[in-house]
Structure 1
Amino acid sequence: MSWIKFALWLSGIYSMYYAAIILWDFFRGGRSPADERSHELSFTEHIEAVQAGPEATAEIYGSSVISSGGVSLKQLFNLAREEAIEFTRPVSF
């Protein structure tokens, strides 16, 4: 038996198998509709929003510096020159 003949037989068997599964699923009528007694779990948790000011941030993180978001690449290199950030690999300026 050659590889081509083996591949053809194998693809034929897989095609028949998947066709039989699809036809069986089609003829059995599909899924039953969900009712109130279905086995679905749902969890809810009451969460209250709290606005954190600068003093709350300093207490939580132990620093008075508040992040203002991302910085541009130029600002990143300026911060690296000023040694305001810690980096682990050498950066060429």
Structure 2
Amino acid sequence: MNWTQFLIGITAIYGIYYALNLLFDLFIGRRAPVKIDDGNELVFSDDSLPEAVVPNPPIAEREPMAGTENPVISSGPLQSTGGVNLKTLLSLAQNDVIEFTKAIPY
């Protein structure tokens, strides 16, 4: 048996399999559709009116809780949001300014 005969045999087997699947699907498709019972349908009526939702005021405008002082601890003014370029990142890593908890996989 050479490659040509093998590939023709595989193609023929797949073609027969595919044709049988199509015939089986056509046979299944001609069955009578299953009747759906509409008697078991749940219907919920919503009589409530929509309400406007007001977001909570920012933390600075909220009143402090009774018996506690300001629960927010400030770490000082922010100089940036944390975005640095690669050269600055490497210099910060060399100066042990960056604390990392696990190694970076390469």
TM range (shorter): 0.3 to 0.5
TM-score, normalised to structure 2, is: 0.38
Point out the structure with max Rg over C-alpha: 2
Q: Judging by fraction of residues, say which structure has more helix.
A: 1
